[in-house]
Amino acid sequence: MNDARKFAFAAHAAARDAINPKAIAAARAAGHAAATAHVAGHSQYAARYAQKASENPEAEKDWQEHFLLTPIINGLNK
């Protein structure tokens, strides 16, 4: 858990230092992904920032739904 927090804080620090909006979003996505180990609710922000960082946000959203959301929903319905 401590490592996850350390990596999350480092990623958010990188986001603050970045200038390019896509780089900022990518760093924020990484920070929230790492923070998910601490609080599951961070996962939604990781996904949203990943979409912002993508060259094709709609395709990223579709990928997330197919490879992340659908398996979770299917797993819950078993």
Instruction: Specify whether the CB–CB gap between 4 and 37 falls below 8 A.
Output: yes
pLDDT per position as a tens digit, 14-62: 999 999 999 999 999 999 999 999 888 888 999 999 999 999 999 999 9
pLDDT at position 78 is 64
Q: Stretch 71-75: mean pLDDT, rounded?
A: 79
Rounded Cα distance, 50 and 61, in Å? 9
| 3-state SS, residue 74 | helix
